[in-house]
Amino acid sequence: MKPPSRIISDPLRLALNSGGHVAFHWEITGNSLQVNGELPACFAHVALQGIVKAGALHALIHEEDLPAVKQQWTQLLQGTLAHPESGMQVDLRLQDSKIGWRWVCLSGQVAERDAQGQALQAVGVLTDIMARKAHEERIGRLRDLYAALRQTNQAILHAEDREALFNQICRIAVERGGFQMAMVRLVDPASQELIPIAGHGTKLPQAPIARISIDAEKAEGKGPAGISIREQRPSICNDFLAVGFHDEWIALANNVGFRSVGSFPFRQDDEIIGALLLYAEEKDYFDQELIELLEEMTNEISFALDNFEQQSRRTEVEAALANSEKLKNAILQASLDCIVSFDEAGHIIDFNPAAERTFGHVRADVIGQPLVERLLTPASGEQFEQGMADLLQNSDSPLHKRRIELWAVHAEGMPFPVEVAVAPIALDDRLVFTAYMRDISEWKQSQAILADSEARYRQLIDLSPEAIFVHQHGKFVLLNQACVQLFGASHSGDLLGQSVRPFMHPDYKEISKKRALALPMGELITGQVEEVWLKIDGTPFHAEASGSKFIYLGSPAVQVVMRDISARKLAEALQSAQNEILGMIAGDEALPDILATLTRLIEDQSERGKCAIALLNAARTHLHAVVAPALPRELVESMTGLAVGPCHSSAGTAVFRREPVLAADIATDPLWIMWRDQTLTHGLQACSAWPIFGKNNKVLGALSLYYRDPHLPSAKELQVIEIAANLAGIAIENKETEDRIRYLAHYDEMTALPNRALFNQILNHAMKTAHRRHQKLAVMFVDLDRFKNINDTFGHSAGDQALQEFAERMRGCLRENDTVARMGGDEFYVLIEELVDGQIAAGVAEKILEEASRPFYVDGQECHLSASIGIALYPDDGGDAMALLKNSDIAMYRAKSDGKNAYRFYSASKNMHSVERLALESQLRRAIDNHELELYYQPKVDVFTGRINGVEALVRWHHPDLGLLPPQHFIPMAEETRLIIPLSKHILRIACEEAHAINKASGYPVRVAVNLSARQLDDNHFPEALQQLLEQTALPADLLQLEITESMVMDNPEQAVEIMNRLRAMGIRLDIDDFGTGYSSLAYLKRFPVYSLKIDRSFIQDIPTGPNDTAITQAIIAMAHSMGMRVVAEGVERREQAEALRQFGCDEYQGFYFSRPVPLTQLLDLLSNQKNWMQVMPASLKAS
C-alpha cells in the first residue's frame, strides 16, 4: 500500500486548499480515512478535522443526500460505473455550524486494487460549490418568475373582477414564483391601514393577520408595505429579523418562517390603492433583477385594474340608458296620477292607464277628442280654457306647473274634484302639453274628517288636567289651561306664538333639542324624562315630560305632556339632606360643622334667603354661638349675645314667644328698633325666625332667614325650615347629650365632685409631678360613720342632702390645688399635693373630722355623723395609684377598727406585707406549672330570650395553703412582676380548650370571653401567637371574645387600634370592659373595632331607683347602639335591675341574679338543663 504522502503530495494539497478543495485518502481494508491537514477557509465550520473513519464523514452528510453518496461509492469500488475512468462525482450537503448546510461536490477515484481487482485505497476531493448553487437557484427563481409573469398576463386576460385577479396573482406568486407567501392589501383611507384582501401560501396565518399602517409615526407603518405606499416605489427588506420591527411582526416572522419581504405598490387611475406583499424563507432573496421583474408584474396589475374600472363605467352607462327608457315607460304606466297629453288645439294625444281608471274611458276612445269636452264640467272647462289661453300668450297662468282644483266628469256622468297642473313640452318644431290630474275626492273627505278630528283633539287637550302644549317650528301653537297655570301665565295669549326655548332651563336646551330630533314620528319618548323649565317670570321648576311627533294642521309638530314635580324633587332633596345631616350627627362631627351644612341646605332650597342658626345659653337668657356662613361677619358678631325678649329682633322674640316671628320689612317692624340700623347697613331688609325645639319641647335656639328685599317666606321655604329646624334640634340635643355623658363619666352628679375615674387621672398626673419635683403627696380615704342610719331614718333624699353638705364642708378644708372626689355611697378620696411630710395631711384630716362631727340639719332635724380616714403617702406607701388607694383603704379600716372618728396613716406593717408578697409571687410562679389555676365561668344572658349567649372566664387559684383565691388577690401582683404574660397565655389556652366542651353542651354557639392584660395589648406579636393557639386547639376564632378596659386602650390608642384591627380580622370579637370607669375619647371609640360595651357594675347597683346611674346607663346604651355595638351589663343582682335593663334596651347581662361564676362542670350542667331553668325565668325577661 502506498503511503498517503505519495498519493496526495504536498504541492497538490496546497493547490487543492487554495481552490476551495479538501482532499482525503481512504484506506479501504482498514477503514482508515485521512483528511489533508489544513482546511481552506470555506470549510472552517465543517467538522472534517480529526475524521479517521468513513462513517464519521457520512455523519456530516445531509440525510437526503447520503443514499446517493453510498450508491456512488459502492459502484466506484465495485467498478460498475458507466465510465469508471472518470471516477465518481456527486453533489451533497455537509453540516456547517455557521450556515447550517454547505453545498460541496464529492469527486472520488480508486487509487489501488489488488490482483483480484478488489479496491484497497481510494482518494477523494470535496469542492465548495455554494456560489454555483446560489447562481443555479437565482437562475431558477428568474425562470420561475418569468413563468409566473406569463401566467399573470393570462390571469389578467381571463379574470372577471379584481378580487378574482388578486387571488390568482397570489396563487401564481407562490405556486409558480417560488415565494413562501403572497398577499394583496388595499389602503383604507379612514383608518390609514392596509387591509388584507387576498392571500396564498404554504403557511398563510389563519388567525387575524398583523396590522399594517401607512402612518410613518406608528410602529405598524415603519415596515416595507407602509414605506412602499408612502414613497410610491417598491420597498425591500432582505433580513426581516435584523431590522428591529415591533414584537407582533417578529413573532409572525418566526411562526411563519420568512426572512425576506418585498412590497410592490400598484395603482388605479394613477392613484396608489394597494400593494402586493411577497415573503421568502431565505435571507437576501430579492436582487435587482428580481425586483425589476416583480415591478413589471405590478405594472401589469395596475393596467388590469384600470381596464376593470373602464369596463365597469361603460357597463354602468349602458345600463343606465336602458333603465332610463324603461323607467320612463314604467312611470307613465304605473303612475297613480292621470297623465293626459294634448296638442295646441286641445285634442288628446296620449292617455295613460291611471287616466283610464280615473275617468272610466278607454284610451282609444279619447285619442283625438277635445280634452275639455270629454273630461271636465262646463264651468271647469271654461276655467281650463282661460288658463290655457294665458299660457299660450306667455302670461301668468294658474295652470302652469301649479295645481288648481277643478271638477271633472266620469264616463258615467258623475262629477268629482281633481287637481290639475299643465306643463308645455317642445317636440321638434311643435308644442304639446301634458296635464297632470289627480282625483282628490278621498283627500277632500279626509280633510273634512281631519278638521273634525282637530276640533275634538283641541277639546281633549282643553279638558285634560295635565299640562299639554304643541309646538311647531319651535313656537307654541296650541296649549291648554293647565299649561297656562304651569308656566305662571295669565292667559294663553301670553304663550301662543312665543318661542319655546326661552322657557327651557339653559342646562337642558341642548339635551332637549337632541332628544326632539331623535324622536321618531308618532312615537313617545321612552319613559318620562325629568327636566328643569322656567315660568314666565323666570322662576325655575322641575317637570316630568314626555313628547311625541305628529302632524298638526298639515305640518310636523311635537306634543308635550308635562307635570310639575317640584314638590317631589324638593322632598327628595330634603330627604337626601336630612340623611347627610343625620350621618354627620351619627359620625360625631362637630356641631358648628353640622349647623353650617344645615344653613347651606336651607340657602340652596330658598329663593333668596341667607340663613343663621343661634344657640340658647345655659341660663336661657341670650342667644350665642351664631352659625351664619353667608352673612357678613360684622353683623354675625353683633348679633352674638342677643337677648331673649319680646322686642329683640325676630330671633330673640321667636325664642321668647316660642313661635315663629315673620318680619317682612325690618325698616318698619317695631321688633327691630334696636337692631335696625346695623342690619339695614348690610343690605338686609327682611328677617323671619323660628324657635328650635328639642324632644321635650325645650327651646334650644333660633333659626333665622334674612332677605335683601322686603319679603315673607314662601310655602317651599316654610317646608324646608320645618325640616331644618327639626334637624337642628336633633343635632343640638345630641351634642348636649354627648357633653352630658362626658360629664357624668367624670363627675358625680349629686355632689359635682370628680368621680373615681377622674380622680385616678388626677392622681396619676400628680404623682408624675411629685416625682419630677421630688415632693410628697397624700391620698386620703374618707368614709362616713353611721351614714346608713340617716338613709334608713330619713330616707335617701335626706341622705343625699347630707352628702352634698359634707362635700361642701370638705372643699372648705382644702387648698385650691387639692382635690376631693366621691367614690360612691358615703366614700370619698382626698388628694393633698406639694407635701414635705405627713404633718400637713394630718392637719387636713383633723379639719375634715371636725367638719364631719358638726351637726347636719335635714328637713329641720339635727343629725350627727363622724368619719374614718386612712392616709397613704407617696412615694413612701406606694409607687403607683393602685397601691396608694389600696393602702389608704387599709389605713381607713384600721381607723374604723380603732373606734372610728379618727385618721390613721398606713403603718410600718407594710414591710411584713412585702415579705408576704414575695412569697406569694414565688408560689404563683409554681402555680402555673402545678396546674393550680382553674377557670370559673359566669354566664352572659340575653335580656329578651333568657338564653346563655356567652360566658366570661374568671381565673381562680387553688392555693395549697390559703385555699381558693379570687383574681384580685394575685392578678395585680402578676401585672407588676410581669408574671401576667405567662399567666395570660395559660388562661387563654385553658379557655380555648374548654370552649369545645361548652359548645358541645349548649348545642349552639356560646362565646367564651377572656380578659386581656395591658401587656398583651402592648405586644405587637400577640395576634400571631393567638392565631397559633387557635390552630393548636382547633377553636374557631368567632367563639373567642377578648375583653379590654378603656384605660388599656387609651394609653397608646394608635397601637391599640392597630392590634385590635388585626384581632378583628382574625374573626375575634372585642369588648370594652368596665365602660364608664375610665376615660375614653368618643372620637377614638368609634374607630375601635369593638363588638360590645360592658357597663361597669358601679352604674348598675343603684338602678332603677338612682336617677344618676339610671341616666348614665340609658345614655351608654343609646350611644353604643347608635355606633352599632351591643351592650352587656355587669353586676346584675336583683330582678328589678334585670327588668329595668330590658326596658332600657340592653342586650345582655351577667351577675349573681342569674348565676355566680361557676366551675366548668356546673356550667355544662347549666347549659344541658337550659330548658328547665328557662321555664322559671321571669316572664318579663323572656322573648315577647
Section 17-46 average pLDDT:
81
3 state SS of 435: strand
> Is the pLDDT reported for residue 520 higher than 80?
no
DSSP string for residues in 511-577: HHHHHHHHPPBT-B-SS-EEEEEE-TTS-EEEEEEEEEEEEETTEEEEEEEEEE-HHHHHHHHHHHH
466-477 pLDDT, tens digit per residue, is 888 999 888 999
% of the chain surpassing 90 pLDDT:
35
Cell numbers placing 138: 437565482
pLDDT for the residue 1146: 95
686-722 pLDDT, tens digit per residue, is 999 999 998 788 899 999 999 999 989 988 888 888 8
- Local confidence band at 847 (pLDDT 50, 70, 90 cut-offs): very high
- Local confidence band at 850 (pLDDT 50, 70, 90 cut-offs): very high
Higher pLDDT, 840 or 796: 840
Fold of 917-1181: TIM Barrel (3.20.20)
pLDDT for the residue 379: 93
Query: Which residue type is seen at 876?
Result: D
CA distances from 593 to 193, 858, 1176 (A): 60, 48, 53
pLDDT for the residue 326: 63
CATH number of 4-128: 3.30.450.20
Cell numbers placing 787: 351614714
pLDDT for the residue 731: 86
- Local confidence band at 145 (pLDDT 50, 70, 90 cut-offs): low
pLDDT for the residue 1030: 94
Residue ranges covered by each domain of the chain: 4-128, 136-307, 335-439, 444-553, 587-743, 747-904, 917-1181
Fold of 747-904: Alpha-Beta Plaits (3.30.70)
- Local confidence band at 1078 (pLDDT 50, 70, 90 cut-offs): low
Angstrom distance (rounded) from CA 476 to CA 558: 10
Q: Determine which of 53-57, 843-847, 1142-1146 has the lowest per-residue pLDDT on average.
A: 53-57
| Arithmetic mean of pLDDT over the chain | 84
pLDDT for the residue 187: 93
392-430 pLDDT, tens digit per residue, is 887 667 666 678 899 999 999 999 999 998 888 877 778
Domain boundaries 444-553, CATH class? alpha beta
Angstrom distance (rounded) from CA 152 to CA 300: 8
999-1026 pLDDT, tens digit per residue, is 998 888 999 999 998 888 888 899 999 9
266-284 pLDDT, tens digit per residue, is 998 889 999 999 999 888 8
Angstrom distance (rounded) from CA 530 to CA 565: 9
Strand 622-627, strand 776-785: pairing: unpaired
Angstrom distance (rounded) from CA 166 to CA 199: 8
Cell numbers placing 737: 347629650
Burial class (CB in 10 A: 0-12, 13-18, 19+), 266: buried
Query: What is the pTM for the complete model shown?
Result: 0.38
Domain covering 587-743: architecture: 2-Layer Sandwich (3.30)
pLDDT for the residue 153: 67
pLDDT for the residue 460: 74
Question: Superfamily assignment of 335-439 in CATH?
Answer: PAS domain (3.30.450.20)
- Local confidence band at 14 (pLDDT 50, 70, 90 cut-offs): low
pLDDT for the residue 915: 44
Angstrom distance (rounded) from CA 146 to CA 294: 10
Q: Determine which of 105-109, 335-339, 377-381, 1027-1031 has the lowest per-residue pLDDT on average.
A: 335-339
3 state SS of 844: helix
% of the chain surpassing 70 pLDDT:
88
- Local confidence band at 380 (pLDDT 50, 70, 90 cut-offs): very high
pLDDT for the residue 1036: 95
- Local confidence band at 936 (pLDDT 50, 70, 90 cut-offs): very high
pLDDT for the residue 1013: 85
Domain covering 136-307: architecture: 2-Layer Sandwich (3.30)
> Is the pLDDT reported for residue 206 higher than 70?
no
Cβ pair 1094, 1009 in contact under 8 A = no
Shared fold status for 444-553 and 747-904? no
pLDDT for the residue 913: 46
Section 501-511 average pLDDT:
83
Burial class (CB in 10 A: 0-12, 13-18, 19+), 945: middle
Angstrom distance (rounded) from CA 953 to CA 732: 42
> Is the pLDDT reported for residue 328 higher than 70?
no
DSSP string for residues in 33-98: EEE-SS--GGGTTS--TT--SHHHHHHTB-TTTHHHHHHHHHHHHHT-SSSGGG-EEEEEEEEETT
958-994 pLDDT, tens digit per residue, is 988 778 888 887 887 787 667 888 899 999 999 999 9
- Which of 265-269, 554-558, 578-582, 977-981 shows the highest mean pLDDT? 265-269
pLDDT for the residue 666: 92
447-458 pLDDT, tens digit per residue, is 776 666 667 777
Section 84-108 average pLDDT:
88
Higher pLDDT, 1077 or 617: 617
pLDDT for the residue 691: 95
pLDDT for the residue 988: 94
Strands (E) in 222-296, as ranges, are: 235-237, 260-268, 271-280
> Is the pLDDT reported for residue 65 higher than 70?
yes
Quote helix, strand, coil % in the chain, to nearest 5: 45, 25, 30
Residue 31 Ramachandran class (φ > 0 left, ψ -120 to 50 alpha, else beta): left
